[in-house]
Amino acid sequence: MNEPLHIWLIDDDHINNFLTKELINLYCPENIFVEVHYAEAGIQMLQDLIDMKKQVPEIILLDLNMPVNDGWYFIDKFEKLDDSFTQKINLYVYTSSLYFEDINRANSYHSVKKLFSKPLTQENITEIFSRH
């Protein structure tokens, strides 16, 4: 990998974000991480990048269960953003929810590449980075 990847962690759990960054860096070092703790803030940040025609993240790891607006809110808004930018983003849901309904719902969105359960494993990371 020549260039570091821009990875956004949209999750309100600071400890999980720390562990996720450490684990990813074990297998794929030198990435650029941005932590976003609220879905609405993540959408606004993406919209700002799109409006300014700046680089969007290559990977977003999105939690479903967050206060105020959840991951579903983020996905619904994400799918309404400019396709010429969002098609460059690999959006993964990673969650502690293992409800069958959540898995089916995540799979129903064209923008969601895959749902992973927390914590990420080496196999999950390998699968995510195999796309780059």
- What burial class does residue 86 get, using C-beta atoms within 10 Å of its C-beta: 0-12 exposed, 13-18 middle, 19+ buried? middle
Bridge partners of residue 21, in order along the sequence:
none
Q: Per-residue pLDDT averaged across 115-125, rounded?
A: 92
In the predicted structure, residue 13 carries a pLDDT above the cut 90: yes
pLDDT in tens, 53-100: 999 999 999 999 998 899 999 999 999 999 999 999 999 999 987 788
pLDDT of residue 124: 94
Q: What pTM was estimated for this model as a whole?
A: 0.94
Q: Please, what is the average pLDDT of the chain?
A: 93
3-class SS of residue 33: strand
Which pLDDT belongs to residue 99? 85
How many other C-beta atoms lie within 10 A of the C-beta of residue 9?
Answer: 25
pLDDT digits 0-9 by tens, 22-33: 999 998 888 999
Q: What are phi and psi of 109, to 5 degrees?
A: -90, 130
